[in-house]
Amino acid sequence: MYKAVPAQIDLPAMEHQILHLWDRESVFERSVTQAQGRPLWTFYEGPPTANGTPGAHHVEARVFKDIFPRYRTMKGYFVPRQAGWDCHGLPVELAVERELGFSGKQDIEEYGIAEFNAKCRESVLRHVDEFTAMSERMGFWVDTDTAYWTMNPDYIESVWWSLKTIFDRGLLVQDHRVAPYCPRCGTGLSDHELAQGYETVVDPSVYVQFPVASGPLAEKYPGVSLLVWTTTPWTLVANTAVAVKPDATYAVVRSDGHQFIVAEELIAHVFGEADVEILERLPGTELERTGYHRPFDLVDIPDAHFVILADYVTTDDGTGLVHQAPAFGADDLQTCRAYGLPVVNPIAANGHFDDSIPLVGGQFFKKADETLTHDLKTRGLLFRRDPYEHSYPHCWRCHTPLMYYAQPSWYVKTTAKKDELLEQNEATNWYPPTIKWGRYGDWLTNNVDWALSRNRYWGTPLPIWRCPDDHLTAVGSLAELSKLAGSDVSSLDPHRPFVDEVTISCPTCGQQAGRVPEVIDCWYDSGAMPFAALGYPHRNEDAFHERYPADFICEAIDQTRGWFYSLMAIGTLVFDQSSYKNVVCLGHILDEDGRKMSKHLGNVLEPIPLMDDHGADAVRWFMLASGSPWQARRVGHAAIADVVRRTLLTYWNTVSFQSLYARTAQWQPSDGAPDLHTRPLIDQWLISEAHRLARDVDDALENFDTQRGGRILAAFVDDLSNWYVRRSRRRFWDGDPAALATLHEALRIVTLCMAPYTPFITERVWQDLFRPTDDTAPDSVHLASWPTSDPLIINDDLGEQMALVRRVVELGRAARASSSVRTRQPLSRALVSAPGWSELPDQLVAEVAEELNVRSVDPLGEEAGLVDVSVKPNFRELGSRFGKATPGIARAISEADPTTLVDTIRSRGQATVMVDSAEVEVLPADVIIAESPREGWAVASDSEDSVAIDLHIDEDLRRAGLAREIVRSIQETRKGAGLDITDRINVSWTSADPDIAAVFDVHGSEISGEVLAISLVSVHQADGFLVTTDLPVEIRLQRA
């Protein structure tokens, strides 16, 4: 027997019960272990940074990381799901710094690196628990027991091995470059970190006059100035040169009594409405070597301050003259080096101007903008100053504006492998596909070397040792290090500061070598997880080769330059093959107003409260099926509550309905049921649709399309509830085994198909309906296989016929609604005109009659003279045959007499119309024929179908309507009295109205049957429940 399934359900409470069930019966573990030995389907879990608390966007990614492994497991694959935690990196350090109230690296060093790193480790452990709790609550099945931690020594050793491999290939090098640098964190940032942190800010943009000091122009135009534009006034202190575009035209102009040199194209941009007189035009090349007075004379920069040529200068913005500070710009450095100019950097590593510098000494670089601008103004050198809104890179975690800063750094030469990377990308399936050549491909095409090193503490130490003669030794494991060090360090914590204390003798020269001070970018850690998670190559060699590359990874779109890149880059560099084949790339989650969720705005949706409000299933369904996963989506309580109402509760109601009537009838699935072919057509239809469902959802998930699968599932649930159950209710009341068996099977299939989407409610249903009634059923829906779809059972013709039935019913309902006759009132007949109607089986015609409450439904065509015929051209057909002539022929068809045209086409199979005095043949397919009845009918039509209902009510019909009204009133009273649907009753009635007496006389047994009355007598009763009705009758009922 089924378990009793209440109509009302508290979804979140039910989910907590299911969580206990899974835990008690180790369902997840069994779902994995029972699949061992089956074909492998590999999923890599991208490790969340164990820093801070999880948000709604984490839920999004995890829903997708869950559904496909569940689906593949049901499809017979072995899908190991190893969790992982990204432990290292700046975010963790920053959180700890905040906790300890530190303001920079100096504080950390005073505190002690060992102690600081111990705090970092603690912090990681704390946050991991929150992620684990969230994952469990949402039903994300991932194995946390075997989780990889990027801070574990095994993991670090694997990372070392890969770095040594890259080093040995000559692709890991140290270089001095201008790179983005966070002065607060005291470290450079890689390009993909840079990508995380662009913020729109308003900076002062200043136009500064640099008086010309030497060269021909100085003599010709005394007092003329170069007009230079910059958005980083602080770099003016280090001004070394001014660059111009060699092939651009520059102009000497006079405005307001002053003379300036500026790019001709930009005169209007610079001077606006002001009067400008052009004194001379000259190419950029002629400005070369023109000397000028620099704006600030604060630091010593010898042999500098003249105009140089550079191709990268543009005349799109500013003045066409670009200020050069080689310490603070990659382009600047390259250009100035070519002219042999010195590189002077007045700013210390902490981002503050050197104390010894006048005016700005000790100031933070950004803060100096104000001081310097003010000073320029006082000295009359500031031509103009505008606020300038642009996006400027900020540190992705601490939000400090970055400086481009010349610094030594270690690089992975990814540019040397660019072609291979592009090749690997070519072989990767992106969902959505546009990412491949769009966002990600574009990024790869513009690839720059990976700035790998960080001058920080809590990270994987760069495993390179250097001797006094600069011989470099890369070390691939602790065992290797032991050998080189001449002492056993195999149980050493490979983190700083311990590893820093290990010295080796240089294999080249024998001198003592120490480790370089840097740690590495934590994106490298996570990108190394395909092998490092298994400790490869030091351990698990077979497992690694089996599981590489992954069949599937999934993250949000912000990872294109993050994890998606680091995985592919490391895979390509180390194994010559990317580490994933399919990648699902999700859009961001926005708040209800379409804004990004952020702590600043206070619009962050906390995942656990959200799931405790609506249920994890609802949140999951929303993420998977509501809107397009690739697109940024708005999420809010209203949208999720809608999912519950529309999909989950409809499904649940159907289950509850089935349970109620199966239990009432003492029916169980093992009782057997009539052969499908002998069941009513609607049963055959439902089973056919269920098999179609299994096929189509399978296909959608095979193609990573959860949205399509969700749409199909939702449509099926709607069919199930609002058509099959609605139409078949009476059979359930009667305990018809065919109906019960049909709905049982349909529910089984839809439950299995929905299980990967909404694992909780489907598990509840499995436990209530399927597990108790089938000894062979697995203990959990998640231990079951995907339902097989039998192509022989899928009946397309029946599907189309049922679609027609539903279309006609809809029109019929509309027709009835347009009249003032209630649906409860039976009517004599409806007439239908629709293509395919005449072939419709009687059973389906009967469905229409019952649904519309009419005694017969007939084809409209039989009623000659009753109908108006209209003919419309079928453009699709005409267009393909007649092309340009289509409009004329269409007009001719519309203007022809429809009755004659249709008669001719029907009798002869074709007709002719006159177009420009030529005859054109019209075939049946060229026209759309619609028929509708004339006066006296309620009619509704759409393009091709129409339904007409005879509104004439005779005595018979009227009394049948009264009987229905009496039945309805009694049912209402039964319900109000709290009777069970199976309770039998005694009914008594009295009425002075002969009409009412006649109703009871003719319809008495029908009424009794409907309301489960064992007696129906005409006597006056004083007790019992009084039935409320507008009819002139007093009815009372009592429980029998």
Query: Among 125, 147, 195, 1002, which residue sits at the site for RNA (rule: CB under 7 A)?
Result: 195
Query: Among 455, 823, 986, 991, which residue sits at the site for RNA (rule: CB under 7 A)?
Result: 823
Q: By C-beta, is 133 or 925 nearer to RNA?
A: 925
Q: Can 596 be counted among the known catalytic residues?
A: yes
CA-based nearest residue to 154, from 533, 500, 664, 419: 533
User: Cβ(457)–Cβ(116) under 8 Å?
Assistant: yes
Which residue in the list 220, 377, 596, 975 is annotated as catalytic? 596
Beta bridge partners of 211: 225
Q: By C-beta, is 432 or 537 nearer to RNA?
A: 432
Q: Can 563 be counted among the known catalytic residues?
A: yes
Q: Can 47 be counted among the known catalytic residues?
A: yes
| In the block, residue with structure tokens 């699709």 | 876
- When asked if residue 891 is in the footprint of RNA (CB under 7 A), the reply is no
- When asked if residue 879 is in the footprint of RNA (CB under 7 A), the reply is yes
DSSP state of 403: E
Q: By C-beta, is 294 or 964 nearer to RNA?
A: 964
Which residue in the list 599, 631, 910, 983 is annotated as catalytic? 599
| In the block, residue with structure tokens 């030794």 | 473
Query: Among 194, 519, 597, 867, which residue sits at the site for RNA (rule: CB under 7 A)?
Result: 194
How many CB atoms are located within 10 Å of the residue 364 CB? 17
Which residue in the list 430, 450, 563, 667 is annotated as catalytic? 563
Pick the stretch among 85-93, 229-237, 810-818, 840-848 that binds RNA (CB under 7 A).
810-818
Shortest distance, position 1005 Cβ to RNA, whole Å? 13
Beta bridge partners of 251: 262, 281
As given in the structure block, the two tokens for residue 465 are 């040792």
Which residue in the list 559, 658, 684, 801 is annotated as catalytic? 559
Instruction: Please list the alpha-helical segments (H only) found in 632-680.
Output: 637-643, 649-664
Q: By C-beta, is 538 or 711 nearer to RNA?
A: 711
**155 vs 40, 87, 605, CA distance in Å?**
23, 11, 34
- When asked if residue 1004 is in the footprint of RNA (CB under 7 A), the reply is no
- When asked if residue 279 is in the footprint of RNA (CB under 7 A), the reply is no
Neighbour-count burial of 233, counting CB atoms closer than 10 A to its CB (0-12 exposed, 13-18 middle, 19+ buried): buried
Shortest distance, position 381 Cβ to RNA, whole Å? 27
Provide the CA 797 distance to its chain's centre, in angstroms: 36
Distance CA 710, CA 690 (A): 14
**Which amino acid does the sequence have at 1001?**
D
Q: Can 887 be counted among the known catalytic residues?
A: no
- Taking CB under 7 A as the criterion, which residues in 981-1000 touch RNA? 981
Which residue in the list 82, 85, 86, 234 is annotated as catalytic? 86
Task: State the pairing for strand pair 1013-1017/985-990.
Answer: parallel
Three-state DSSP state, 400: coil
Three-state DSSP state, 496: coil
Per-residue HEC secondary structure of 461-495 comes to ECCEEECCCCCEEECCCHHHHHHHHCCCCCCCCCC
- Taking CB under 7 A as the criterion, which residues in 1-40 touch RNA? 7
Q: By C-beta, is 511 or 703 nearer to RNA?
A: 703
As given in the structure block, the two tokens for residue 889 are 């022929």
Query: Among 442, 470, 850, 895, which residue sits at the site for RNA (rule: CB under 7 A)?
Result: 442
User: Cβ(189)–Cβ(358) under 8 Å?
Assistant: no
Q: By C-beta, is 186 or 887 nearer to RNA?
A: 887
- When asked if residue 958 is in the footprint of RNA (CB under 7 A), the reply is no
CA-based nearest residue to 108, from 15, 187, 34: 187
- The strand ranges marked E within 860-936 are 867-873, 911-915, 918-922, 927-933
Shortest distance, position 822 Cβ to RNA, whole Å? 3
CA-based nearest residue to 229, from 423, 386, 446: 386
Query: Among 45, 86, 97, 191, which residue sits at the site for RNA (rule: CB under 7 A)?
Result: 191
- Taking CB under 7 A as the criterion, which residues in 573-612 touch RNA? 588, 594, 596
Query: Among 709, 941, 960, 1036, which residue sits at the site for RNA (rule: CB under 7 A)?
Result: 941
Shortest distance, position 862 Cβ to RNA, whole Å? 23
Shortest distance, position 745 Cβ to RNA, whole Å? 17
Pick the stretch among 69-77, 161-169, 189-197, 768-776 that binds RNA (CB under 7 A).
189-197
Q: By C-beta, is 455 or 823 nearer to RNA?
A: 823
Q: By C-beta, is 244 or 815 nearer to RNA?
A: 815
Per-residue HEC secondary structure of 336-389 comes to HHHCCCCCCCCECCCCEECCCCCCCCCCECCCHHHHHHHHHHHCCCEEEEEEEE
| In the block, residue with structure tokens 């294999």 | 507
Distance CA 922, CA 933 (A): 25
CA-based nearest residue to 740, from 2, 8, 5, 6: 2
Query: Among 74, 586, 1012, 1037, which residue sits at the site for RNA (rule: CB under 7 A)?
Result: 1012
- When asked if residue 1019 is in the footprint of RNA (CB under 7 A), the reply is no
Query: Among 413, 418, 807, 968, which residue sits at the site for RNA (rule: CB under 7 A)?
Result: 968
Give the CB-side neighbour count of residue 211, counting CA atoms within 13 A.
Answer: 12
- When asked if residue 545 is in the footprint of RNA (CB under 7 A), the reply is no
Which residue in the list 85, 523, 667, 723 is annotated as catalytic? 523
Distance CA 403, CA 215 (A): 34
DSSP state of 535: T
- When asked if residue 434 is in the footprint of RNA (CB under 7 A), the reply is yes
DSSP state of 921: E
Shortest distance, position 725 Cβ to RNA, whole Å? 4
- Taking CB under 7 A as the criterion, which residues in 199-258 touch RNA? none
- When asked if residue 269 is in the footprint of RNA (CB under 7 A), the reply is no
- When asked if residue 439 is in the footprint of RNA (CB under 7 A), the reply is yes
- When asked if residue 418 is in the footprint of RNA (CB under 7 A), the reply is no
CA torsion angle 93 95 96 97 (round to 10):
80
Distance CA 794, CA 708 (A): 20
Q: By C-beta, is 74 or 610 nearer to RNA?
A: 610
- When asked if residue 422 is in the footprint of RNA (CB under 7 A), the reply is no
Distance CA 998, CA 1007 (A): 13
Binding mask 677-696 for RNA (x = CB under 7 A): --------------------
Q: By C-beta, is 483 or 968 nearer to RNA?
A: 968
- When asked if residue 868 is in the footprint of RNA (CB under 7 A), the reply is no
Shortest distance, position 302 Cβ to RNA, whole Å? 29
**Which amino acid does the sequence have at 517?**
P
Distance CA 557, CA 549 (A): 21
- When asked if residue 772 is in the footprint of RNA (CB under 7 A), the reply is no
- Taking CB under 7 A as the criterion, which residues in 614-633 touch RNA? 626-628, 631-633
From first CA to last CA, the distance across the chain in angstroms is: 27
Size of the site for RNA (CB under 7 A): 85
Query: Among 170, 302, 609, 883, which residue sits at the site for RNA (rule: CB under 7 A)?
Result: 883
In DSSP notation, 936-987 reads: TEEEEE-SS-EEEEE----HHHHHHHHHHHHHHHHHHHHHHTT--TT--EEE
- When asked if residue 1010 is in the footprint of RNA (CB under 7 A), the reply is yes
Binding mask 713-752 for RNA (x = CB under 7 A): --------xx--xx--x---x-------------------
- Taking CB under 7 A as the criterion, which residues in 645-674 touch RNA? 645-646, 649-650, 653-654, 656-657
Pick the stretch among 261-269, 353-361, 385-393, 861-869 that binds RNA (CB under 7 A).
385-393
Distance CA 723, CA 315 (A): 68
- Taking CB under 7 A as the criterion, which residues in 444-503 touch RNA? 446
Q: Can 413 be counted among the known catalytic residues?
A: no
Q: Can 523 be counted among the known catalytic residues?
A: yes
Pick the stretch among 671-679, 822-830, 861-869, 896-904 that binds RNA (CB under 7 A).
822-830
Residues with a known catalytic role:
47, 86, 523, 559, 563, 596, 599
